[in-house]
Amino acid sequence: MEKACRTCHKILEGASCPICGSSDTSTDWSGFVVIIDPQASEIAKKLEIDLPGKYALRVR
């Protein structure tokens, strides 16, 4: 089961977040977006995402 970072919502493969370094993760998340070009993406702006990747929409 994939985990998502509670801080920045990045979906993780490892134990800690490669973007913000947080190890505060959750398996209780739903929906995701794949951000390819954060500068051109309205969703990325809304979620305050600076780097490309796969992000959970909701993390509990």
β-bridge partners, 33: 55
- Selected range binding Zn ion among 22-30, 31-39, 40-48, 50-58, rule: CB under 5 A: 22-30
CA dist 16 and 33 (Å) reads 20
> Which CB atom, from 8 or from 44, has the smaller least distance to Zn ion?
8
Q: Is residue 4 a contact point for Zn ion (CB under 5 A)?
A: no
Q: Is residue 51 a contact point for Zn ion (CB under 5 A)?
A: no
> Which CB atom, from 7 or from 41, has the smaller least distance to Zn ion?
7
CA dist 53 and 6 (Å) reads 15
